[in-house]
Amino acid sequence: MNQKIPIEMIVNGNTIQAEIEPRRHLVDFLREDLGLKGPHLGCEQGACGACTVRVDGQIVRGCLYLAVQANGKVVDTVEGLTAQGVLTALQNAFLRRNAMQCGFCSSGMLLSAAELIEQRPEATREQVREWISGNYCRCTGYHSIVDAIMNVLEAQREQTE
Considering only 9-17, 65-73, 93-101, 145-153, which stretch makes contact with other proteins by CB under 8 A? Answer: 65-73
Decide: helix, strand or coil at residue 6. Answer: strand
Strands 74-76 and 5-11: parallel
The answer to whether 12 contacts other proteins (rule: CB under 8 A) is no
d(CA 64, CA 157): 34
For the chain, where are the alpha helices, taking DSSP H only?
26-28, 78-81, 85-96, 106-119, 125-131, 143-160
Do residues 46 and 64 make contact, with C-beta atoms less than 8 angstroms apart?
yes
Residues between 90 and 129 that touch other proteins (CB under 8 A): 112, 115-116, 129
CA angle 142, 27, 149 (to 5 degrees): 25
**4 vs 96 by CB, closer to other proteins:** 4
Q: Least separation, in Å, of the C-beta of 24 and other proteins?
A: 8
**66 vs 89 by CB, closer to other proteins:** 66
The answer to whether 141 contacts other proteins (rule: CB under 8 A) is no
Of these, 16, 44, 79, 86, which contacts other proteins (CB under 8 A)? 44
Q: What single string gives the DSSP state of each residue in 136-152?
A: --SSS-SHHHHHHHHHH
**43 vs 95 by CB, closer to other proteins:** 43
Bridge partners of 14, per DSSP, are 11
Of these, 9, 30, 36, 66, which contacts other proteins (CB under 8 A)? 66
Q: Which residues bind other proteins (CB under 8 A)?
A: 1-3, 5, 21-23, 25, 28, 44-46, 49, 52, 58-61, 63-66, 68-69, 71, 112, 115-116, 129-131, 133-135
